[in-house]
Structure 1
Amino acid sequence: MAVARSLRRTSPITFVLASLLAIGFLVFLLSPSPSESTSSSARQRQEDAAENPLSPPTKPFKKATSLRKDGRVAPPPVEHYALNKLTSTSNPIANDERVLILTPLARFYQEYWDNLAKLNYPHELISLGFITPKTREGDAATAALQSAIAATQSGPIDNRFASVTILRQDFDPPIVSQNEKERHKISNQKVRRESMSRARNSLLFTTLGPSTSWVLWLDADIVETPSTLIQDLARHDRPILVPNCYQRFYDPNSKKMSVRPYDFNSWQDSETSLELASKMDPDEILLEGYEEMPTFRTLMAHLNEPSGDPDTIMELDGVGGTALMVKAEVHRHGAMFPAFAFYHLVETEGFAKMARRLGYFCWGLPNYLVYHYNE
C-alpha cells in the first residue's frame, strides 16, 4: 500500500517537536497559577481561623458575624480540644504541628525581625507572642515592632504569621537601662532574672493554646539563625533543646571578623557547683559566667567545634533562653520559669531544674550556632 505523499514528506523530528509541544501545553493547563496557590492558602487560613474572642490566641482570628434575633452577637460556643491527639514529632511540617515563638522584647532590632521572617517553616503554622516593658524604651520597641508586624501581615499571604500577640508588662522592671554592661552586672542578676521570669510566665500562660505543639523561646537580640531553625531543632525530638549562642565581633588582633561564645547558661553541673549550692541560704541563687562565683561547670559554650557535626548532642543540667525549643507538653505539665530561688536557680536555669523534677531532660547542640546582636 502506498504511503500518502504528505506523510512521506514529514520528518520524524516534526513528530517529536509536536509531542513536546502538546505535553507542554497540557502541563500549562493543569498547573495552578500563583494566584490560585495564594487563594488556596488564603482559603485554608480562613477556614482555620478562630470564630470568637475566647478562641486560642495561637490561631488567626476573624470577627463573629452571627447575630441573634435581638441583633446582638451570639455568645461563643463551648469548644472541645482533643489534646491527646496533639503531636510534637521529629517531622513537624508533615504533621502540621503549630509552633509558638515567644519573645520578651525590651529593644527592637530590625535584624531580629528580618531573621524571624526568613524562617522557612510554614508561616501559617507559626504564631508569635511578645511582651514589652512599660518604659520609654519599651514604648519605642513596641512601636517599632508594630510597624514591622504591619508590613509583614499586610504582605504576601505565605509570609504572614498565623497570629501575633503583644503584651505589656503589668509590673515595673527593676532595671530601666538596657545597656549590656548594666544588664549583666552580677549585683543586678537576681532581681533582673526574677523579673524576666515573671515576664516569660505572663507571656507563656497568656498565649499557649490547645493547638500548640512546640514553643520556641527566641530572644529579641538573636539576629542570625539558619532559616531551618525550627525543623532542625524539632528533628531531634527532645522535650527541651538549646543550640549554642555565639556572637560575631571584630577582632582587633587579627583585624577581621570573628566569633566568640555569648550564652553561658547552658551547662552540666560540677561537684564544685553542687557543693556551693549546698552551703547557700534558701533565697540565694548560683550564677554562671562570673569570676566572683567560680562553679567549674562544663559550659556548652566552650565545647563548640567549628568543623564539628551540628547534630552532636549533649545532656544538660541548665539551659539558656536565647533560642530554646520546648515541647508544649513540658509547659502544660507545669514547667515554668521560677521567679524565686528554685534549688538555688532562677529563670531558664530554674526552668531546667523544674523540668527535670517533672521527668523531662534537657539537651544541647554545641556545634549548632545562633548569633546574638553585638552592641
Structure 2
Amino acid sequence: MARPMGSVRLKKANPSTLLLGAVLCIFIIIFLVSPSTPTKTARLAVNTASHHLSPPTSPYRKSSRPGELGPPPVTHYKLNNVTITPDPIANQEHVLILTPMARFYQEYWDNLLKLNYPHELITLGFILPKTKEGNAATTALQAQIQRTQKQGPEKDRFKSIIILRQDFEPAVMSQDESERHKMANQKARREVMAKARNSLLFTTLGPSTSWVLWLDADIVESPPTLIQDLASHDKPLIVPNCFQRYYDGDTKKMSERPYDYNSWQDSEIAQQLAAQMGPDDILLEGYKEMATYRALMAYMVTEQADKSLVIPLDGVGGTALLVKADVHRDGAMFPPFAFYNLIETEGFAKMAKRLGWQPWGLPNYKVYHYNE
C-alpha cells in the first residue's frame, strides 16, 4: 500500500539511548546547582556561619535568595577538643584579636597586617565610641577592612572582622595623651574602658577560640611573630613591655622610654595603702601623688636583653596582652568597679589570680606605642 504523501515514519528509540540521555540530564542539573569545589579562595567554607545567629567568630555570608532564611541550626561544640598549646600554628589554633579603638592609626593597621600568624586563623574585633572622633575612626577602619578583605592579597585577609559601637558615653571626650592620663580622670576613664573591653569580649568569644590577644589601637610596632612568641611560653596570660619611641633633643637621636606602668609586682606599701582605702577607691600606678613602690616591669629591662626572660606579675597592662581563652571562659573579665582596690586590666589580673591563673610578663620583649 502506498504511504500518503508527506507522512514520516518515526524510528523507535533505543532504550539504552534514552537511559543514557536521562543520566546525562541529571548530571547537568546537579553540576549547575551544586556549589563549586572548595579552593584557596573558599578556605573559610568549613567555618562559615550558616545563620546570622551562629557564633560571631565564624564569618557569616547572607543567602543569595532574599527572604529565604531558615531556622538557626542546632550545633554541638566540643570545647574539650579546642587546643591551647605553645605551638598554635602547627595546631591550627584560632586567635581572637580585640581592640578598643577611639582613634584610627594607619600604623596600627599596617602593623596588624605584618603579623605572620596565618590570617585565616585570626578574627578581629573592634569597639568604638559614638563620638565625633569615634565616627571618624570607624570610617577609616571600614575603608581599610574593605581594602584588605576584598581587594588585598589572599594571605592578608582575616577569617572574620566584627565592629561594635559603644552604647555608653566615654568618660573623657578628648583622646589627647595629656588629657586622658590625668590622675583625676583615671577612675572614670578606666571604668568605661573596662565596660568596652567586656562588651567586646562577651560578644565575640567563640567556641573555636584558643587565644585572645588584646591589642591597643595605638600599638604601632611589634614583632611579626608576636602571637606565636607570646604563646610559646604557654602561660595563661602574658604581657610584653610597652615602650614609646621619641626624639631626644639632648642627644639629637631617636630614643625610647617606658610607656605602660600597669604591669607590676605588688609591694607591702601598696597593700598597706589599699587596706586604708574605702571599698570604692582604687590604686593607680605611675603617679607621684600615690607612691606604691611596686616593682614595675617597665624598669626591669636587663642588660643582656634576653627576650625569653619571663617573670610573675600581680598586675598587667592591656596594650598587648595574650590570654588563653579558657581564662576568660572561667569568668575572668575586666572589672569596671573597684575589685580589691584595682580596676580594668589590673583588676583583671587580680581576678585571674583568684581563679587560679597566674599572670606573667616579658620585661625584655617590647612593643611600641604611638608617640603623639
TM-score normalised by the chain length of structure 1: 0.87
Q: CA deviation at 1:65?
A: 6.0
Letter of the 2:143 counterpart: S
**Which of 218, 233, 236 lines up with 1:236 in the alignment?**
233
Letter of the 1:234 counterpart: A
**Which of 65, 73, 78 lines up with 1:77 in the alignment?**
73
Q: CA deviation at 1:203?
A: 0.3
Q: CA deviation at 1:58?
A: 1.2
Query: Which residue is equivalent to 1:339?
Result: 336
1:146-225 alignment, distance < 5 Å: 146-154=142-150, 155-225=152-222
Query: Which residue is equivalent to 2:9?
Result: none
Note if contact 1:340-1:346 (Cα within 8 Å) is conserved in structure 2.
yes
Query: Which residue is equivalent to 1:41?
Result: 40
Q: CA deviation at 1:66?
A: 8.5
Q: CA deviation at 1:291?
A: 0.2
Q: Identity of paired residues, percent? A: 66
- Cα shift readout 1:79-125 (whole Å, capped 9, x = no counterpart): 11000111110000111100000000000000000000110000000
Query: Which residue is equivalent to 1:257?
Result: 254
> How far, CA to CA, are the matches of 2:89 and 2:65 in structure 1?
34
1:29-178 alignment, distance < 5 Å: 40-64=39-63, 72-154=68-150, 155-178=152-175
Query: Which residue is equivalent to 2:349?
Result: 352
Query: Which residue is equivalent to 1:3?
Result: none
Describe the SS at the equivalent of 1:317.
coil
> How far, CA to CA, are the matches of 2:365 and 2:141 in structure 1?
28
Describe the SS at the equivalent of 2:238.
strand
Query: Which residue is equivalent to 1:20?
Result: none
Describe the SS at the equivalent of 1:176.
coil
- Cα shift readout 1:172-216 (whole Å, capped 9, x = no counterpart): 111101010100000000000001000000000000001100000
> How far, CA to CA, are the matches of 1:321 and 1:373 in structure 2?
15
Note if contact 1:52-1:64 (Cα within 8 Å) is conserved in structure 2.
no
Query: Which residue is equivalent to 1:282?
Result: 279
> How far, CA to CA, are the matches of 1:66 and 1:137 in structure 2?
37
Q: CA deviation at 1:306?
A: 5.4
Q: Structure 1: which 5+ runs fail to align?
A: 1-38
Letter of the 1:268 counterpart: Q
> How far, CA to CA, are the matches of 1:208 and 1:100 in structure 2?
7
> How far, CA to CA, are the matches of 2:310 and 2:127 in structure 1?
31
> How far, CA to CA, are the matches of 2:39 and 2:229 in structure 1?
28
> How far, CA to CA, are the matches of 2:53 and 2:157 in structure 1?
22
> How far, CA to CA, are the matches of 1:243 and 1:358 in structure 2?
22
Letter of the 2:318 counterpart: G
Q: CA deviation at 1:44?
A: 2.2
Describe the SS at the equivalent of 2:53.
coil
- Cα shift readout 1:195-247 (whole Å, capped 9, x = no counterpart): 10000000000000011000000000000000000000000010000000000
Describe the SS at the equivalent of 2:174.
coil
Letter of the 1:303 counterpart: M
> How far, CA to CA, are the matches of 2:139 and 2:65 in structure 1?
34
Letter of the 1:211 counterpart: S
Describe the SS at the equivalent of 2:309.
coil
> How far, CA to CA, are the matches of 1:112 and 1:305 in structure 2?
27
Q: CA deviation at 1:327?
A: 0.3
Describe the SS at the equivalent of 2:44.
helix
- Cα shift readout 1:112-159 (whole Å, capped 9, x = no counterpart): 000001100000000000000010010000000001111110112221
Q: Structure 2: which 5+ runs fail to align?
A: 1-37
Letter of the 1:40 counterpart: T
Q: CA deviation at 1:284?
A: 0.2
Structure 1 moving runs of 4+ over 3 Å = 64-67
Q: CA deviation at 1:369?
A: 0.3
Q: Which has the larger radius of gyration?
A: 2
Q: CA deviation at 1:305?
A: 2.5
Note if contact 2:50-2:73 (Cα within 8 Å) is conserved in structure 1.
no
RMSD of the TM alignment (CA)? Answer: 1.3
Q: CA deviation at 1:332?
A: 0.6
Q: CA deviation at 1:325?
A: 0.2
The more displaced of 274-283 and 45-54 is 45-54
Note if contact 1:66-1:74 (Cα within 8 Å) is conserved in structure 2.
no
Q: CA deviation at 1:43?
A: 2.9
Query: Which residue is equivalent to 2:313?
Result: 316
> How far, CA to CA, are the matches of 1:65 and 1:335 in structure 2?
40
